[in-house]
Amino acid sequence: MAETELEKAEKRYAQAKARLQSIRNREATKQRKLDTRRKVILGGALLDLAERDSGAAAMLDRLIRNLAREQDRKAFADWSAPSGSPSPAPDADGSS
């Protein structure tokens, strides 16, 4: 039995709709990966800064202690904040 013009159009519409959803899914996956990469990079930068700066180390410790989710706090249970060396104080004239 031959397909009618309407059936052919509905089939093409369904295929186009499926392709569009596939493209949307790929874009969403790409954005999630980029977001995760940014978080990893910033986390590493923060840890590096905390190793060199006592103020950043204290802030990192406060952030961890104030995590809302118990499972997130547990991830840091055996972790200790880096000691961080004191930041150099600026000279009286504002230069370092």
| Domain count of the fold of the chain | 1
* Helix, strand, coil percentages, rounded to 5, for the chain: 70, 0, 30
Q: Is residue 38 part of a domain?
A: yes
- pLDDT tens digit sequence for 9-36: 999 999 999 999 999 999 999 999 999 9
d(CA 79, CA 52): 17
Q: Is residue 49 part of a domain?
A: yes
Q: Is residue 93 part of a domain?
A: no
Mean pLDDT of the 72-77 span: 89
List the domain range (segments joined by +) for residue 63. 5-68
Q: Is residue 75 part of a domain?
A: no
Q: Is residue 79 part of a domain?
A: no
The per-residue pLDDT for 90 is 46
Contacts 24+ apart (CB under 8 A), 20-29: none
The per-residue pLDDT for 80 is 78
Handedness of CA 10, 16, 18, 21 (dihedral sign): negative
What pTM was estimated for this model as a whole?
A: 0.65
